[in-house]
Structure 1
Amino acid sequence: MTAPEPVERTPGPAWARRRAAARRAWGEFTRHRAGVLGLGVLVLVIALAALAPLITDADGVDVTRATGGRLEPPGGRYWLGTDESGRSVLLLVLWGARISLLVGLSATLLSIAIGTVVGILTGHFGGWGSALLMRLTDFFLVLPSLVLAIALSTVIGPGVGTIVLAIGVTSWPSAARLVRAQTLGVEARPYIERSRALGGGHLHVIGKHVLPGVLPLVLVNTTLAVGTAIVAESTLAFLGLGDPVAISWGSMLRSASNSGAVTAGAWWYLVPPGLAIAVVVLAFTLCGRAMESVLNPRLRER
């Protein structure tokens, strides 16, 4: 007897529809020049940050191996000058992007995950448990998130993980509110009632209907929240609540302030990290606005 020939599995119509929808979304996204520009800037910055150990010498960020002069102005040897220890500011900006982007993305994912879970649970189940969660959300929403992050960082101790945790656990209420409103809108649709009438349980309704309905909003909110998280990380690092050894854009601004770069007129030590923060935050905002226009038909019609 001969072995049966393997049957080639072809993708079903659902996958074909998803690929077609993804192509349409990408085509709509490319129509937004600002969004494409922001995406290009983000790809460039992320690539430079990821390849920093390969394209630069890690010894250059070591204080004990610095070869430049103190606050040396830009020139042929150091394009963006040096810091108070004689290290290249350009090299510090490249390596600082790694910590700033890592903390911003990690804190955003943590806050969005908490907000999504809380928003879906409160919108789907209701009852006294949901009311209690929403009162807790209102409590965190009223208090300034930066003040809470500073207090939490002070209690736990300085460090990169502390900043991620501080930003993540204090910036989720806005995401929870948005996801809850979207969940209530999805729950009111007729196919949810049909799914329940056919025996669909809570996990089926949430996994098959509610979660796909709120994912576009979560994706857009994630893109827009990364910029806020990067600014918060820079603020906490500037206040000295980050890892004193790690190099980030916020710690560079703190070092520039403490070393007297302002009074010495060393603009090349202050402008590059500040400009990097502004450019990356603007790039994330442009991408988020473009994605919001793509995923929201009302905005697309406007």
Structure 2
Amino acid sequence: MSTPIGQVAKPIDSEPAPGDVAAAVRRSRLPSWVVILWANRKSRIGLIMLGLFIFVAVFAPLLATHDPKVTDFAQSLPPGGAHPLGTTASGQDILSQLVYGARTSIVVGLVAGTVVTFIALLVGLTAGYLQGWVDEVLSFLINLALVVPVLPLMITIAAYSPVRGLFLIIFVISITGWAWGARVKRAQILTLRSRDYITAARFAGEGRLRIIFAEIMPNMMSLVVAGFLGAAAGAIGAEAGLEFLGLGDPTTVSWGTMLYWANNSGAMLTGQWIWLGAPGLAIALLLSSLTLINFGVDALSNPHLRER
């Protein structure tokens, strides 16, 4: 089909322009944020990838061919037959462990990301809005938490804890990962609290809670969501790292414990590279999906980014 003279053909694979997105928002019955996220190519790919991981996690009992903890199979079998990815040195099915491991990573990312975001939001909102001595105290705690090396602190807490398991890992990630988000949200609050509509609400006699949750929070949602995605990605990576170092519960089926046992059993030396590579690739893809979704979240707050 030819293009009329004087007009420029629009590339087929280009991102929709802001006007196109706005028209799609008006036509759609879905919430506007859903349309904007889906209109962004990178975000759309990330949503599809994340949806596949969630599907695998939810329907793990149906997708897994065997019980991931059963050790009745022959040891160190190569991929093929009843074991598409082979078996471990203990006789466990690698594919089943990979499928069930998605549950652990998603649960850790969801729970730890929510807790970290809540702590960061609570501290950042309180420090940025109240200011005064409250801001000074909380800013001191934020700066103190930022200068403390996070990885050694996580390893120390996990190593000397009398208990093991996902609860410990989520707790360690939550108390060590909130500071940067709190600092960013405090800076955003300091900017928003000086706006004219906030001053007008204050003179109108509205209470602090109403100003924070009805006037300020709606303008920070994209920042909060982006912070949650970043915290969830960090939690997934931290869980895998702690499990790989042997600081978690080795009986838990997760991608981190798969890496731990593969490394301890010398998987690379025995040619079982897929035992080590499969969970590593799964972690990389899950983290990539959250990163790609963040491009769409940025487009929610910045219409100029919807052109790319």
Class of the TM-score when normalised by the shorter of the 2 chains: 0.7 to 0.9
Name stretches of at least 5 consecutive residues in structure 1 with no aligned partner: 1-16
**Equivalent residue for 1:26, pick from 34, 45, 48:** 34
Cα deviation 1:140-174 (Å, max 9, x = unaligned) = 11122222211221233322101001011101011
**Are the equivalent residues in 1 in contact too, given 2:64–2:100 (CA < 8 A)?**
no
**Equivalent residue for 1:229, pick from 235, 238, 242:** 235
**Aligned equivalents of 2:289, 2:55: Cα separation in 1:** 15
Cα deviation 1:113-163 (Å, max 9, x = unaligned) = 100000000000011121111111111111222222112212333221010
Measured at CA, do residues 63 and 236 of structure 1 come closer, stay the same or move farther in structure 2, by a change above 3 Å?
Answer: same
- Name the structure 2 match of 1:297: 303
- Name the structure 2 match of 1:52: 60
Measured at CA, do residues 18 and 255 of structure 1 come closer, stay the same or move farther in structure 2, by a change above 3 Å?
Answer: farther
**Aligned equivalents of 1:61, 1:225: Cα separation in 2:** 28
Measured at CA, do residues 262 and 55 of structure 1 come closer, stay the same or move farther in structure 2, by a change above 3 Å?
Answer: closer
Measured at CA, do residues 300 and 268 of structure 1 come closer, stay the same or move farther in structure 2, by a change above 3 Å?
Answer: same
> Does 2:69 correspond to 1:62?
yes
- Name the structure 2 match of 1:97: 102
**Are the equivalent residues in 2 in contact too, given 1:73–1:268 (CA < 8 A)?**
no
The TM-score with structure 2 as length reference comes to 0.86
Cα distance, 1:301 vs structure 2: 5.8
Cα deviation 1:243-301 (Å, max 9, x = unaligned) = 22211101100000111212112112111100000000001100112211232235346
**Aligned equivalents of 1:96, 1:133: Cα separation in 2:** 38
- Name the structure 2 match of 1:149: 154
Cα distance, 1:20 vs structure 2: 7.8
Measured at CA, do residues 134 and 298 of structure 1 come closer, stay the same or move farther in structure 2, by a change above 3 Å?
Answer: farther
> Does 2:169 correspond to 1:163?
yes
**Aligned equivalents of 1:35, 1:268: Cα separation in 2:** 29
Measured at CA, do residues 107 and 43 of structure 1 come closer, stay the same or move farther in structure 2, by a change above 3 Å?
Answer: same
The share of aligned pairs that are identical, in percent, is 38
- Name the structure 1 match of 2:250: 244
**Aligned equivalents of 2:276, 2:215: Cα separation in 1:** 49
User: Cα RMSD between the aligned structures?
Assistant: 2.1
Cα deviation 1:47-105 (Å, max 9, x = unaligned) = 11111124436x622334x22x2111101221111111211111000011111111122
- Name the structure 2 match of 1:11: none
**Are the equivalent residues in 1 in contact too, given 2:28–2:35 (CA < 8 A)?**
no
Structure 1 range deviating more: 251-260 or 210-219: 210-219
- Name the structure 1 match of 2:3: none
Cα distance, 1:206 vs structure 2: 1.2
**Are the equivalent residues in 1 in contact too, given 2:116–2:231 (CA < 8 A)?**
no
- Name the structure 1 match of 2:117: 112
Name stretches of at least 5 consecutive residues in structure 2 with no aligned partner: 1-24
**Aligned equivalents of 1:169, 1:273: Cα separation in 2:** 26
**Aligned equivalents of 1:213, 1:29: Cα separation in 2:** 17
- Name the structure 1 match of 2:139: 134
| Count of matched residue positions in the alignment of Structure 1 and Structure 2 | 283
**Are the equivalent residues in 2 in contact too, given 1:42–1:283 (CA < 8 A)?**
yes
Name the structure where helix makes up a greater proportion of residues.
Answer: 1
**Aligned equivalents of 1:271, 1:74: Cα separation in 2:** 13
> What one-letter code is carried by the residue in structure 2 that aligns with 1:217?
L
